[in-house]
Amino acid sequence: MLVVLKLFKIFLILLALSPQSFACKKLWGDSQFIDTCEIKANTKGEPILLKHVISKFSLKKKNLRINFNVNSIASLQGVKFTLKNGTEEVGYFEFPMFTDHDFGIIKSDLVTELTIPKSSITMTDKKNHVVDTIETYIAPKKYKELTFKVLSVTSQVKAKKGKVSITFDDGYQTNLLASRLTSQRGLNATAYIIPQAIGQKDYLTDDNVNELLKNGWALGSHEVTPVTEIKNDEVEKYLSQSVQKLNDKFNQKDTSRHFAYPLGKTSKEVILKARKVFNSARIAGGGMETLPVGDRHRLRVINVFPHMSPETLYQKAKIAVDNGDWAIFMFHYLDDPSKGNLNYSVKSFTQFLDLMKNLKDSVLPVHKVLSKN
């Protein structure tokens, strides 16, 4: 009897540690059902709807995680995930798609590890946060062959309190002013710097970069040419050079292992090489990120444009903190907005920082957020 009880306890422990199981079936769509969760669409462009029944969880405590694979992103027109409690719709998340596939998170023949932040879910039922069913709406392109495979649908415990990271790309001279403004308010940021641009006109100098570091900023790696334009056998060397240059000049062994893809462009090959070189890599869009993150080498960001008010940015930050998500803001210049859509005015940025003082304890550089999640 004692042996039986011990075996039963072991069984319970293994059950708790095992991945969450899910059932999957096709609701409608004229397509070939290869196995329980793999669909091969016809070439008519007709949509498909899959249903995944999983263990019940609350969006207040957990994030939805879906791992899937697509044979060709060029064959996919769109994906929408509808979250339900039984037959009642709780909310939905539409995956952002781009005409230039280099900008998107989904890559051909590379598993997408998608976590859906509550902050990005359009809630159709404000009171109901319990989910036990996911419906995946897949829109193939006409005359294209598409195979869409769902590998797993699970939930993961989310952070109790979210985080905010302020980031600047390229290393322009106006980053120095931004660092002084953040420092005066007890805030920090991450600058993704192009090492070879240091000292050039309109860019930071060595002394400027050292002042950024004194002001509590972290340095991440960046480059000029999109990595997708580099020959595949030269990508790893290209990615490593920015790390080496920042280490040689500023001894940033930890933070330089965090990268911002130039123009946010990626491919399957680029992402696989980035995983070898960097601890994380950030794209140039996608919206809110989750904690823990879905994929450290496809970090999503909120791209800041001149028309976004300080109040709008602050509300996004507050929503992230309240929902246990991660808002990574991507800035470039602090300058007159009329000069370009990458410029954010000094006045607006200052107002944003004044509001962010209310969330000061939740503002961290990118590498510090990842070290704790």
Residue type, 219: L
Q: Are 331 and 127 in contact (CB under 8 A)?
A: no
**Residue 45 backbone zone (phi > 0: left; psi -120 to 50: alpha; other: beta):** left
Residue 146, SS3? Answer: strand
For residues 217 and 191, give the distance between their C-alpha atoms in angstroms, rounded to a whole number: 7
For the chain, percent of residues with pLDDT exceeding 90: 80
Q: Are 222 and 231 in contact (CB under 8 A)?
A: no
Average pLDDT across the chain, whole number? 90
pLDDT at site 23: 57
Tens digits of per-residue pLDDT, 156-169?
Answer: 999 999 999 999 99
Tens digits of per-residue pLDDT, 14-72?
Answer: 333 333 445 565 554 444 444 458 888 877 888 989 889 899 999 999 999 999 999 99
Q: Which residues contact 107 (CB under 8 A, 6 or more apart)?
A: 73, 101, 266, 267, 268, 271
pLDDT at site 216: 97
User: Measured in Å, how far apart are the chain's first and last C-alpha atoms?
Assistant: 43
Question: What are the C-alpha distances in Å from 308 to residues 148, 180, 288?
Answer: 36, 22, 16
| Element of type H or E holding 36 | none
Q: What is the residue whose two structure tokens read 């090489």?
A: 273
Closest by CA to 28, choosing from 132, 135, 124, is 135
Could you give all domains of the chain from N- to C-terminal order, each with its CATH number? 20-157 (2.60.120.260), 163-372 (3.20.20.370)
**What residue spans of 234-267 are helical by DSSP H?**
235-250
Token pair listed for 110: 């590379």
**Cβ neighbours around 12 below 10 Å, total:** 10
**Cβ neighbours around 130 below 10 Å, total:** 16
Lowest mean pLDDT among 29-43, 137-151, 263-277, 357-371: 29-43
For residues 198 and 211, give the distance between their C-alpha atoms in angstroms, rounded to a whole number: 14
pLDDT at site 18: 33
Residue 173, SS3? Answer: coil
pLDDT at site 253: 84
